[in-house]
Structure 1
Amino acid sequence: MVKDLSEKALKELIDEALLDNSIPTYARTLIQILAQQQEILRKEHQVLKRVLGPKYERALRKDMEEDGDSDLLSWTAFFMLLFFVLYVIRQWIKGARFTEKVKVNGKVAIVTGANCGIGKQIVRELVLRGAKVYIMCRNVELGKEAVRDLFSRYGCDSTRMIVKYGDLNDFDSIRRFVNEFNREEEVLDILINNAGVMFRPKFELTKDNHEVTWQSNHLGHFLLTELLLPKLRKSQGARIVIHSSKLHLNADTIDPDVVDSKKHWGRISSYNRSKLAN
């Protein structure tokens, strides 16, 4: 039973949520509507109690015994509190966010692994802020599908989203991508090494004779960055962003004899090592 949440505590919780600008407008509106409904129920409860007296109390107790449930007022308060707690947890998990209204008009960027997830959202932000973005991914069709989605859902300019094939597990493929980029662009302003794999089910080596997770997450990006440095140096204020993970804290080593060894391979440990290298 959730009957012990005081009206004062609930009101303070609601007031705090309504004044918190970090909570989206739609969420604050929902909280306000729920608060109004809760206030109406509270007043109705008071009126019925005043008019009917003991009869209302007996009827309420009987109804609660039959339903095996708490009164609607308490459950409304409970779900409002639960919603607020879950929202706070979600915001904490998302971590810090960039909220400055910065424009990158005319800038050229490359984002790896950008057909879904974080990479796709990075492309969205860069394009909406004015950049031209090259999307490097292993599956060109999925990349084009992401472009169509960003165009239809967010209004991103599809002419400033260029999908190019590039496989981080193939050094030759990386070199071809860079050669093609160099023919099309004079300068690179932003390089975001986002692509990555994790928790692979078995040990595998790439055609370059490196463990797949190790090459995908680190060696491939390392080579890509080295080959693009001349273009980055031509930009004023170029940036290289590497998407890492706190799981690097659990890594044991990045010794070349270990990271490519089947004997020392592990679904999680291989990922942790690659992130430590990042």
Structure 2
Amino acid sequence: MTNPALDLFNDRLPHKPYFSDDLHFGVRIAGKERAILAKYIQFNQPHAMFWLGFDVDRLGAAIDWSDRNAPAPTLTITNPENGHAHLLYALKTSIRTAPDGKMKPLKYAAAVENALRKKLDADVGYSGLICKNPNHDYWKIAVWQPELYTLDWLADSLDLNAANDKEIVADYGLGRNCTLFDKTRKWAYRAIRQGWPEYDQWSQACYERACAYNLQFAMPLDDNEVKGIAISITKWTHSQFTKSSFEDYVIKTHTSSIQSLRGSKSKGGGRPSLNNPWAELGVSRATYFRQKSGK
């Protein structure tokens, strides 16, 4: 008997997933044909999330989502010994986790993910890399929702404050991608002005900085994701932040500030201010009175 949810799970597996038969010995990587036989398996693509996955460590985890008024998971994979489960929500459109697109949709997805985690009271320390493999006979699986979810559909049943940044946990799930991108780009905006390095040198510097920030997470991102973020920031900053463009910006800003001071008007019919005549001359107050007294 075919199981459409299980078929969907297998179709969406990476070509070379991480897998493990015993998590005490870590994970390995192999072709899908080998990995699909393992007890645990990587269920999302390296740069695309087709599933939102949650780890719920309590008895009855596979069914108490209903008591919490949470949306029904697509699939639950339960440990028959203790009732703990992984809950998977299948998305109609995958979430692009490499920063080659706009950050706003990623932040929205991170906010939805975290709001759903809170609703389910799922483990905040779950990395989301691997899950219990529903193909393995050891686990008990159940299908609850055959339709694929959109983020908006999920958000309708969640307490989501317009998907703002406050609803994103910096060290959880997609929040890590958002945090790593934001921290690295803010560093890059300042650092590139210190010497205006060549592209290769700058690329290495961005990657090393992103790696350093990534290590601050309790569950760091995969190196491929870190590289993708670093490359995106490298390309954009190296093309947009040049020595000549920065010097032009400084000159324009300085000129604009002077013109603004010289063009100050009082509220009385556009006449020059009588209270600050030094501003009209573009000099300091002390200089104005020194020149006026002839000293």
Q: State the TM-score, normalizing by the size of structure 1.
A: 0.23
Higher strand fraction (1 or 2): 2
Structure with the bigger RCO (C-alpha within 8 Å, sep 6+) is 2
Q: State the TM-score, normalizing by the size of structure 2.
A: 0.22
